């Protein structure tokens, strides 16, 4: 950039707010705060402002901050900066962009958290240089995003990339979305926990619940999964293999439908288990590719930016936005 | 166009060659010939030349022909005009573009037949005006194509749009592609015929085989399906409902993944049965949409151009190609 400024990328989650000063994909400064959504949207905006101000202070030698982009966990209207619906925050039609612009005196772009993560991995992460990228995020749910011909795909209603709700088994397990047999019903952490508990209820031996207790976790976290696999817990192994199998089918569906060059796997589980989680998915996927020619050049890999995909991607979106010149 | 010329679109199929002079989506003149692929590629090229020359003659009052685009049934290399592999023609690495350019003295663009059909429906057919369009073609197989952000999606290897091979039932029916549970294994004409025969073998009553005999068809054609449904043949009804159910799941998968504005159904079966085939698919699909907001504005409709999608789409591709200025 001619003026050598930087961009602020913010990852607004249900648990924490992460903000970073970013220049060309490099994180200059980073700050974090709890979100505490139960205190209401105004309190959250105040905390977002505080964490951004901290970043601005610490990065003051880095030239001017050009613009802010914030990735919010829900449906957003980019044009107006309104968060339409964010269940994890309990927000409906909240004008986040307007509030933040007034407080900060900087242009603020509001986008979806998954979208900015995909942009981050595409531009500076595992998808760098590829024209077509699919991202699949495995966490509490299974989310995703898509870059086609170099551009993130929003779709007609801004609803593209819901890979977690591709049906991999008709009349299969009930999904939190209310439908049956979605990949999310087999491959999210929530689904994996449910499957572990069912097997234990059926009388199978497993250390998973003990590990949860030892680690003082009230759910199946990535670290619990890792520990149980290290201890060669059979039930955990079976459940992870089931999750991987359906993620493999999903990956093949995505490849057969739009032929990306790179499929990036991200989210907590992948960050923790990396290749050991992704490689079996890739094996199943490759068995289900329709077209074999050139298939070996398709990469199925863990995300490269980890926790930073959201802030780095948001900074890219801020840099791309013409909106910032009107700010 | 300033020079008021027209474009030649050619739809090269395993059975027939259809060529048309097209200006802005309007077919000025159209000609048809049998392909007779068993006579070898050189004989086919000769026949393609002949049908194009006929169109050129008949359209001579319409101004100059600017360029030709030919949609071939297989994998093509657009840059070189080589048909990489067309099983229906028995071709491998055949330089179709070069041969035709030499014979015609006009620029010739070679593309895939499904791609040009999708472009035709997008630009001049049922998808007109939409930024994001998915097309699903039901015939001997199940094919498809995708327009995202206004552009046809080729993918990394030129293999995008293979919607027929989305797995809708793991470990399900064997598909001609060698894998199990693809939508093509339930919803193609070939699959429908196999399912009808299985039910008859199990002792079910059906008039389908009689209708085939009466109509002198050695396979389940669209007209046989139509007749059997008119006669309220129970087996045919069940099989068509199965085909529609899985096409409905596929449609929902496509919507959840790409969020298109229009899903266009084409191919022989759809051309014959139109809304009566597509509407039940749409009903199943709509039950499986993840996001309901704005879902009523998503259109699931039969193709509008029928047999002409290929030639009209090829003419659009010819018009778009910079290649024609070098011809």
Residue B132 Cα, gap to closest chain A Cα (Å): 7
Helix (H, G, I), strand (E, B) or coil at A67: strand
| Substitution target from B177, B184, B248, B257 for chain A, most A beta carbons within 10 A | B257
Residue A123 is assigned to a structural domain of this protein: no
In terms of domains, do B183 and B287 share one? Answer: yes
In terms of domains, do A139 and A194 share one? Answer: yes
Is the pLDDT at A299 greater than 90? The verdict is yes
Q: What is the rounded distance in angstroms from the CA atom of residue A121 to the CA atom of residue A315?
A: 12
The two tokens of residue B174 are: 């064997």
Are A297 and B156 in contact (CB < 8 Å)?
A: yes
Is the pLDDT at A106 greater than 50? The verdict is yes
**pLDDT confidence tier of residue A65, bands split at 50, 70 and 90:** very high
In terms of domains, do A295 and A230 share one? Answer: yes
Are B259 and A158 in contact (CB < 8 Å)?
A: yes
Is the pLDDT at A187 greater than 50? The verdict is yes
More confident site: B81 or A290: B81
Q: What is the rounded distance in angstroms from the CA atom of residue A250 to the CA atom of residue A235?
A: 23
Considering only CB atoms, which chain B residues are within 8 Å of A254?
A: 257
DSSP string, A100-120: HHHHHSS-EEEEEHHHHHHHH
Place of tokens 């976290």: A221
**pLDDT confidence tier of residue B316, bands split at 50, 70 and 90:** very high
In terms of domains, do A241 and A198 share one? Answer: yes
**Beta strand segments in B1-117, E:** 6-12, 16-23, 26-34, 65-72, 75-77, 82-86, 91-94, 108-112
Is the pLDDT at A212 greater than 90? The verdict is yes
Residue B131 Cα, gap to closest chain A Cα (Å): 7
Residue A77 Cα, gap to closest chain B Cα (Å): 13
Domain that holds residue B72: 6-118+308-326
Is the pLDDT at A84 greater than 60? The verdict is yes
Are B257 and A160 in contact (CB < 8 Å)?
A: yes
Are A163 and B297 in contact (CB < 8 Å)?
A: no
**pLDDT confidence tier of residue A325, bands split at 50, 70 and 90:** low
| Substitution target from A155, A163, A178, A242 for chain B, most B beta carbons within 10 A | A155
Work out the mean pLDDT of chain A and round it to a whole number: 93
Judged by average pLDDT, the poorest of A78-82, A297-301, B278-282 is: A78-82
What does the pLDDT read at residue A159? 86
pLDDT digits (tens, 9 = 90+) for A130-178: 999 999 999 888 999 999 999 999 999 888 999 999 999 989 999 988 9
Q: What is the rounded distance in angstroms from the CA atom of residue A185 to the CA atom of residue A174?
A: 6
Nearest partner of B12 among B121, B91, B101, judged by Cα = B91
What does the pLDDT read at residue B261? 97
Considering only CB atoms, which chain B residues are within 8 Å of A162?
A: 256-257, 259, 290-291
Counting one residue from chain A and one from chain B, the pairs whose CB atoms sit within 8 A come to 145
Q: How many CB atoms lie within 10 A of CB A66?
A: 22
Residue A163 Cα, gap to closest chain B Cα (Å): 6
Average pLDDT over residues B267-293: 93
Are B84 and B75 spatial neighbours (Cβ–Cβ below 8 Å)? yes
What does the pLDDT read at residue A128? 95
Residue B119 Cα, gap to closest chain A Cα (Å): 16
Are A156 and B75 in contact (CB < 8 Å)?
A: no
CATH of the domain at A42: 3.30.420.40
Q: What is the rounded distance in angstroms from the CA atom of residue A142 to the CA atom of residue B256?
A: 13
Query: CA B20 → CA A9, A182, B55, B102, B103, distances in Å?
Result: 53, 45, 6, 20, 18
**pLDDT confidence tier of residue A1, bands split at 50, 70 and 90:** very low
Nearest partner of A47 among A103, A98, A95, A88, judged by Cα = A103
Residue A30 is assigned to a structural domain of this protein: yes
In terms of domains, do B257 and B199 share one? Answer: yes
Are A159 and B290 in contact (CB < 8 Å)?
A: yes
Residue B94 is assigned to a structural domain of this protein: yes
What does the pLDDT read at residue A88? 84
What does the pLDDT read at residue A2? 45
Average pLDDT over residues B20-45: 96
Residue of A161, A168, A260 with shortest CB distance to B170: A168
What does the pLDDT read at residue A140? 86
pLDDT digits (tens, 9 = 90+) for A302-318: 999 998 999 999 999 99
Is the pLDDT at B327 greater than 70? The verdict is no
Considering only CB atoms, which chain A residues are within 8 Å of B163?
A: 256-257
What does the pLDDT read at residue B1? 44
In terms of domains, do A89 and A73 share one? Answer: yes
Residue A184 Cα, gap to closest chain B Cα (Å): 12
What does the pLDDT read at residue B11? 96
pLDDT digits (tens, 9 = 90+) for B219-248: 999 999 999 999 999 999 999 999 999 999
In terms of domains, do A142 and A171 share one? Answer: yes
Residue A183 is assigned to a structural domain of this protein: yes
In terms of domains, do A170 and A95 share one? Answer: no
Residues 6+ apart with CB under 8 A from B178: none
Residue B182 is assigned to a structural domain of this protein: yes
**pLDDT confidence tier of residue A327, bands split at 50, 70 and 90:** very low
Are B155 and A260 in contact (CB < 8 Å)?
A: yes
In terms of domains, do A296 and A161 share one? Answer: yes
Total count of residues recorded for chain B: 327
Residue of B160, B257, B260 with shortest CB distance to A156: B260
In terms of domains, do A111 and A217 share one? Answer: no
The two tokens of residue B161 are: 């749009």
Residue B156 is assigned to a structural domain of this protein: yes
β-pairing verdict for B133-138 and B262-266: parallel
Residue A47 is assigned to a structural domain of this protein: yes
Give chain A's domain count: 2
In terms of domains, do B155 and B283 share one? Answer: yes
Nearest partner of A179 among A160, A165, A191, A198, judged by Cα = A165
In terms of domains, do A168 and A204 share one? Answer: yes
Residue B68 is assigned to a structural domain of this protein: yes
| Substitution target from A161, A166, A297 for chain B, most B beta carbons within 10 A | A166
Is the pLDDT at A4 greater than 80? The verdict is no
């Amino acid at each position: 950039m001619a003026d050598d400024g930087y961009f602020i990328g913010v990852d607004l989650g249900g648990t924490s707010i992460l903000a970073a000063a970013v220049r060309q994909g490099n994180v200059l400064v980073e700050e974090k705060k709890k979100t505490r959504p139960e205190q209401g949207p105004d309190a959250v905006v105040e905390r977002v402002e505080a964490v951004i101000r901290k970043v601005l202070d610490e990065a003051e030698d880095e030239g001017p901050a050009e613009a802010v982009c914030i990735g919010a966990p829900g449906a957003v209207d980019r044009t107006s900066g309104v968060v339409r619906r964010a269940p994890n925050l309990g927000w409906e039609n909240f004008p986040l962009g307007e509030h933040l612009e007034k407080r900060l005196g900087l242009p603020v772009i509001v986008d979806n958290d998954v979208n900015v993560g995909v942009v981050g991995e595409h531009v500076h992460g595992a998808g760098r240089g590829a024209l077509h990228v699919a991202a699949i995020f495995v966490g509490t749910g299974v989310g995703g995003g898509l870059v086609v011909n170099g551009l993130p795909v929003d779709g007609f209603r801004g609803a593209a990339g819901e890979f977690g709700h591709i049906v991999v088994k008709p009349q299969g397990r009930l999904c939190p979305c209310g439908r049956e047999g979605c990949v999310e019903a087999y491959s999210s952490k929530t689904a994996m926990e449910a499957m572990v508990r069912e097997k234990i209820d059926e009388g199978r031996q497993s250390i998973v619940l003990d590990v949860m207790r030892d680690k003082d976790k009230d759910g199946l976290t990535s670290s619990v999964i890792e520990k149980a696999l290290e201890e060669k817990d059979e039930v955990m192994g079976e459940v992870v293999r089931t999750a991987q199998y359906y993620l493999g089918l999903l990956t093949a569906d995505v490849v057969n439908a739009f032929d990306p060059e790179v499929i990036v796997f991200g989210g907590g589980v992948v960050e923790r288990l990396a290749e050991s989680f992704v490689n079996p998915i890739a094996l199943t996927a490759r068995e289900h590719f329709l077209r074999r020619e050139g298939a070996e050049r398709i990469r199925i890999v863990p995300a490269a930016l980890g926790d930073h995909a959201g802030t780095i991607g948001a900074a890219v979106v801020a840099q791309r936005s013409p909106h910032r010149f009107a700010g």
